[in-house]
């Protein structure tokens, strides 16, 4: 199996559960956080909604410098957040479908102020993005629970949903 096929299959497996998590974020709670050290729900939900877009960024660029700013796309309403999510999925599918395994084997760098803080082949960085997404999506489901929103079934049933 080609790397592109493997990563596209992983993407497809994660889309529905991620969408459900994003669409259940309640309106008017962007500043809510469970603890002063926690991310605000608006920031966290935008992060989860946009993370698939990182795949395209890693394929199309050789590095990202966090010191350059930009902060990524943001949304302030549920409809905007779902549009951001849909765009990130579309961009990831397009990039994975149009790249090669040779490109995925090439290194990609994460930089801060020009200093390389992480460098690995693109396919590993993309695989790590799926793990990173699972982490933040898990955080988001805790936020949903604490705000009396139904928690979607992701890798198994929840108190709100059975096996999907």
Query: Per the structure, how many domains does the chain have?
Result: 1
30, part of any domain: yes
Task: Write the pLDDT tens digit of every residue in 27-65.
Answer: 999 999 999 999 999 999 999 999 999 999 999 999 999
Read off the pLDDT band of 69 (50, 70, 90).
confident
Whichever domain contains 136, its CATH number is 1.20.120.450
158, part of any domain: no
Computed from CA positions of residues 161, 93, 131, 37, in that sequence, does the dihedral angle turn out positive or negative? negative
122, part of any domain: yes
Q: What residue numbers bound the domain in which 51 lies?
A: 3-146
Look at 162 and 154; give whichever has higher pLDDT: 154
24, part of any domain: yes
164, part of any domain: no
Task: Write the pLDDT tens digit of every residue in 113-156.
Answer: 999 999 999 999 999 999 999 999 999 999 999 999 999 999 99
This prediction has a pTM of 0.94
163, part of any domain: no
156, part of any domain: no
């Amino acid at each position: 199996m080609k790397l592109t096929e493997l990563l596209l299959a992983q993407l497809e497996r994660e889309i529905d559960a991620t969408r459900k998590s994003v669409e259940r974020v309640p309106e008017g709670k962007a500043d809510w956080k469970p603890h002063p050290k926690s991310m605000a729900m608006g920031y966290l939900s935008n992060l989860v909604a946009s993370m698939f877009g990182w795949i395209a960024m890693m394929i199309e660029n050789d590095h990202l410098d966090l010191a350059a700013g930009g902060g990524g796309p943001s949304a302030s309403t549920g409809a905007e957040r779902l549009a951001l999510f849909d765009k990130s999925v579309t961009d990831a599918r397009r990039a994975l479908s149009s790249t090669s395994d040779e490109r995925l084997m090439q290194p990609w760098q994460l930089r801060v102020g020009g200093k390389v803080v992480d460098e690995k082949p693109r396919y590993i960085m993309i695989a790590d993005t799926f793990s990173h997404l699972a982490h933040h999506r898990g955080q988001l489901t805790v936020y949903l629970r604490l705000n009396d929103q139904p928690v979607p079934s992701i890798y198994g049933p929840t108190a709100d949903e059975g096996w999907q």
